Amino acid sequence: MLLDKKRILITRPNHDAITHYLCEWNTEIIKLAKEKNFDVHDLKAEKANKKEVISHLEKQKYEFVIFNGHGNSNQIAGYNNEILIESEKNHQLLKDKIIYAISCSAAKELGKKCCEAGSKAFIGYENDFVLFYEKNMLSRPMQDEYAKAIIIPSNQISQTLIKGNDIGEAIKRSHEMTNQNIEKLKSTESVIGAENVIMALLWNMASLKANGNLNQKI
């Protein structure tokens, strides 16, 4: 008997520096998910709009939803900061799913409300997600060593889940990767301004939260 592939929905707006960086760095997650036989629906750039997101969430059953984009404690945004998901308006669309939102502060209120409305879990940041990048590397975000040290621990969440582990393990590995990068940066005197990246890593790690049952898997 053929089993349906598990589905992942991912939004990747790219209208400013941070969304551009996250968009490019999430290609690694998409590649891994396809290798692991997931059916990946990639809403990149202009496609990361409210109409598309709602349509996908209403028509298909997604096990895992990854949001990259700006946000606040009650909203997640997409391309050009159009609001995609909002507390008390359409957060119920995320019922029965695991969500990872790389969006400022969304874990604070929206994450809790999603879990109250039946989301399996909501992983995100209770405070602002902070990124340092080199301004002359905008055309080559994958080669920006400053951004790389910050984004890799964030990507670790999705990658660990896609590999079949539970949320608790994903958080643990993200913390481990954060600490590894901090130690590496502390011991590398040649990286000028490394302490700024360390600050961002500490800040993001303190802000990373999972609402819901940590034993859940995709």
Partner 1 sequence: MEISEDVKKLVIARLETMPANLKMSIGGDEDLDKHKMIKEVEKESDVGKKIVEMHMLYLRSFKTKM
What gap in Å lies between CA 206 and CA 127, rounded to an integer?
9
Give the residue carrying structure tokens 């660990």.
Answer: 160
Please report how close the Cβ of residue 91 comes to partner 1 at its closest, in angstroms: 19
Residue from the set 93, 198, 210, 218 that interacts with partner 1 by CB under 8 A: 198
Residue among 77 and 98 whose Cβ is closer to partner 1:
77
The span of 13-21, 55-63, 91-99, 112-120 binding partner 1 (CB under 8 A) equals 13-21
Alpha carbon dihedral 80, 122, 3, 173, in 10-degree steps, equals 100
| Total residues belonging to the chain | 218
132 binds partner 1 (CB under 8 A): yes
- The interface mask with partner 1, positions 27-66, x = CB under 8 A, is ----------------------------------------
What gap in Å lies between CA 132 and CA 199, rounded to an integer?
10
What gap in Å lies between CA 102 and CA 100, rounded to an integer?
7
One-character DSSP codes across 97-118: -EEEEESTTTTTTHHHHHHHTT
Residue from the set 104, 149, 210, 218 that interacts with partner 1 by CB under 8 A: 104
Residues that bind partner 1 (CB under 8 A): 16-18, 70-72, 77, 81, 104, 127-128, 130-136, 146, 192-193, 195-196, 198-200, 202-203, 206
